[in-house]
Amino acid sequence: MSVENLKAYIESGVLELYVLGDLSPQEALQVQEIAIKHQEVREELAAIESAMEKFAMQNAIQPSASVETKLFEKLGISLDEQTEPVLIPSLPQETKIVQLEPNDGKIKTLRYALVACVALLVISTAALFITYSKLTDAHDQIASLNLDKQKFAGIVSKLEYSNQGLSNLVEMNDSKEWATIKMQGQAISPQSKMNVYWNKKNKSVLINYLAMDLPKADAQHEYQLWAMVNGKPVSLGVFGKTDSTSKEALLKMQTIQEAQAFAVTLEPMGGSVNPTMEKLTVMGGV
């Protein structure tokens, strides 16, 4: 290529287009071939490139930092590693997102139910306490009623006892068969008195706890009834304390065919063979 032709070639603007990448591959190849041969073309190209590069440098705009991050992520290059390229296996961390079931309404309902349950529990507890205190009152009342009942039952049994004794007395007084021997208090107990009922037909002897007034005997002693037969005392048996809780007001003693008098002495438990005369409590003749 002649010098004139070369100058015309340079001035045609084809080198600028080459640098701007605005040539077809064939045209570009031609530029390269000529550039290899001609120093002037190479220099011209270098000058154009340099100008374009400086132009670009001075028109530089800093892109946002995220571009760099995304770029190296995409290429799998770690930004921190300065010496070795570490290939990050580009496995996207798939965090499993579990969709909450749309059961807000259900939760709301359950919440209301819970509140209702708590309220019910409170009411129930209160009711339970009221009922419990009422029950305690009722128990107390039952206990006191029981006491009353026992008291009345005692009274009733005492009354029955008295009534029985009294009716027996009345019967025996009316009957001609029974003789009533009234025994009077002796030296050790002048206030004492007691009746003995002696059947003239079958000779049986009865005493009535209601028809006696004797001093209270202690635990080691009891009273013994004697019949005086021709001046000799005959034991008719022992009997308990005057305040005996025995149901029977009447107590049947041993029978005696004949007797002139009856007497009661205080004897050791079980009775004695002969009466202790110092302890003669009551005595009465037939």
Residue 72: CB minimum distance to other proteins, A: 8
CA distance linking residue 72 with residue 263, whole number of Å: 137
Asked if 40 contacts 6 with a C-beta cutoff of 8 angstroms, the reply is: yes
Applying CB under 8 A, which residues contact other proteins? 11-22, 28, 32, 36, 45-64, 66-68, 70-72, 74-75, 77, 79, 82-83, 85
Residue 34: CB minimum distance to other proteins, A: 12
Residue 7: CB minimum distance to other proteins, A: 13
Between 61 and 91, whose beta carbon lies closer to other proteins?
61
CA distance linking residue 161 with residue 154, whole number of Å: 10
Between 19 and 280, whose beta carbon lies closer to other proteins?
19
Asked if 187 contacts 266 with a C-beta cutoff of 8 angstroms, the reply is: no
Between 36 and 98, whose beta carbon lies closer to other proteins?
36
Residue 115: CB minimum distance to other proteins, A: 45
Angle (CA) 191-196-202 rounded to 5° is 175
DSSP H helices, the chain, are 3-11, 14-19, 25-37, 39-58, 65-75, 104-174
Count of other CB atoms within 10 angstroms of residue 274: 11
Between 47 and 114, whose beta carbon lies closer to other proteins?
47
Asked if 273 contacts 265 with a C-beta cutoff of 8 angstroms, the reply is: no
Residue 89: CB minimum distance to other proteins, A: 15
CA distance linking residue 193 with residue 182, whole number of Å: 7
Between 78 and 254, whose beta carbon lies closer to other proteins?
78
